[in-house]
């Protein structure tokens, strides 16, 4: 349901773990809305950091569920699931409508065990 984020700022900060300033959690939701990619604390739901989706897309890889959620993180529906690179266009299209999309990274080992 969450993932840990390691912060890399122009290659200068390596392996610095991001923490929520409000509660100290290191677990975050990865969300997209309009052209923004942002993290929301998994524990207290406070926004943590944001950047442009364009800046993050080249760094995303792996299997994800793209889930539409509301402001309270209630799941509204599954948009797509699979390799993230295949769904960048759909993510951009749906997020441009103002939808909040949760990029939920799938645990590949757990997925194969199903």
Give the DSSP letter of residue 43: T
Taking only Cα atoms into account, the Rg of the chain, rounded to an integer number of angstroms, comes to: 14
Tokens (6 digits) for 82: 């699979």
The pTM (predicted TM-score) of the whole model is 0.76
Nearest to 97 by CA among 30, 29, 35, 31: 35
Give dist(CA 45, CA 22) in Å, integer. 10
Mean pLDDT for the chain overall: 80
Question: For the chain, what are the domain ranges?
Answer: 6-113
Q: What tens digit of pLDDT does each residue of 25-35 get?
A: 888 888 999 98
Range with the lowest mean pLDDT among 12-21, 57-66, 78-87, 89-98? 12-21
23-27, 63-67, 105-109: range with highest mean pLDDT: 63-67
The values of phi and psi at residue 38, to 5°, are -145, 160
Give dist(CA 28, CA 104) in Å, integer. 10
Give dist(CA 35, CA 24) in Å, integer. 27
């Amino acid at each position: 349901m969450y993932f840990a984020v390691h912060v890399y700022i122009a290659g200068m900060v390596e392996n610095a773990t991001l923490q929520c300033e409000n509660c100290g959690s290191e677990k975050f939701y990865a969300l997209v809305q309009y052209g923004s990619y942002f993290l929301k604390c998994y524990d207290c739901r406070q926004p943590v950091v944001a950047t442009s989706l364009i800046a993050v897309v080249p760094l995303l890889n792996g299997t994800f569920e793209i889930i539409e959620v509301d402001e309270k993180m209630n799941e509204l529906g599954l948009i797509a699931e699979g390799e993230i690179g295949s769904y960048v266009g759909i993510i951009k299209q749906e997020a441009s409508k103002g939808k909040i999309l949760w990029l939920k990274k799938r645990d590949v080992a757990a997925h194969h065990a199903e």
